Amino acid sequence: MSMSFGSAFGSSDPFGELLNRFFGMSPATSPPAVQRVPIGRLLSEPSQELINLAARRALEDGTPDLDTEHLLWAATQVEPSRGLLTQAGVDVEEFAAQIAKVLPRESVEVSAQPGLTPGAKRTLAAAYGLSQATGASYIGPEHILGALLEGEGTGAARLLQGAGLDVSRLRGLAERPARPARGEGAGAGQEGGAPSSLDEYGRDLTEEAKAGRLDPVVGRAE
């Protein structure tokens, strides 16, 4: 079964609408302080992919609610969370298979729009808090992974703690402060600064353009 929350909601902000429903918010009932935090819009594209994968897995397993184990399994499928697990000493493929064995399975007719368990709701809220604490302007898979690690009593936290990984290293990687923009702060862009996920997995097109390494653009005015 294939599902995308974007197509399911048909909205210009499907993830904002999705998370508003998950957290029980509506324009008529939400406190103003809650409405000012557009969690759905803060999700990076990899985080949107992570949640889509987790929800699709829940639907395929016939479970009406997406739980922390689904989020953790999806975190093994996308970057940078997959890479962070590897750096913490995890065999990601083996770990994903281990998680898959314990995912909740039910034989019920489920909606095309699954809900969230309380533990999963707390995880996404904690991921937002972690992103703010690290100075990031988005909620990335690394923040969701960090929140899963700290989720006391959840199935995902137990799986992470029993995986034989370096918990302190994973925590440090997930909570690494966002790197300042170029020219901001001491050591920005200098060797020894904490690398961001963008630096590690992205390309600096501006620098490539300055160096003349991009193909010419045809058909546009100068």
Tell me the three state secondary structure of residue 35.
helix
Kindly report, residue by residue over 50-95, the tens digit of the pLDDT.
Answer: 999 998 998 888 888 889 999 999 999 999 999 999 999 999 999 9
26 in helix, strand or coil? coil
The 10s digit of each residue's pLDDT in 209-222 is: 666 666 666 666 65
Q: What is the pLDDT of residues 174-214, one digit of tens each?
A: 999 876 544 443 333 334 444 555 665 666 777 666 666 66
pLDDT score for 221? 65
Percent of the chain exceeding pLDDT 70 equals 60
- In whole angstroms, how far apart are CA 35 and each of 16, 17, 24, 99, 120? 10, 11, 11, 34, 20
Residues 6+ apart with CB under 8 A from 181: 188
Going by pLDDT thresholds of 50, 70 and 90, the confidence category of residue 42 is confident
In angstroms, the CA 144 to CA 50 distance is 9
The predicted pLDDT at position 185 comes to 39
Distances (CA, A) of 17 to 32, 54, 114, 132: 16, 17, 13, 21
Quote the pLDDT of residue 28: 39
Pinpoint the alpha helices (H) of the chain.
5-9, 14-22, 32-35, 39-42, 45-60, 68-75, 81-87, 92-102, 118-133, 141-149, 155-161, 167-174, 197-201, 205-210
pTM: 0.69
Residue 51 dihedral angles phi and psi, to the nearest 5°: -70, -40
Strand, helix or coil at 46?
helix
Q: Give the max Cα distance, the chain.
A: 61
Q: What is the pLDDT of residues 106-132, one digit of tens each?
A: 765 655 566 889 999 999 999 999 999
Long-range pairs for 18-21 at CB < 8 Å and ≥24 separation? 18/51, 18/113, 19/43, 19/124, 21/113
Determine the Cα–Cα distance for residues 155 and 18; give it in Å rounded to an integer. Answer: 23
Tokens at 216, concatenated: 């010419």
Per-residue pLDDT band at 158 (split at 50, 70, 90): very high
CA 50 – CA 111 distance, rounded (Å): 19
The most confident of 23-37, 94-108, 133-147, by mean pLDDT: 133-147
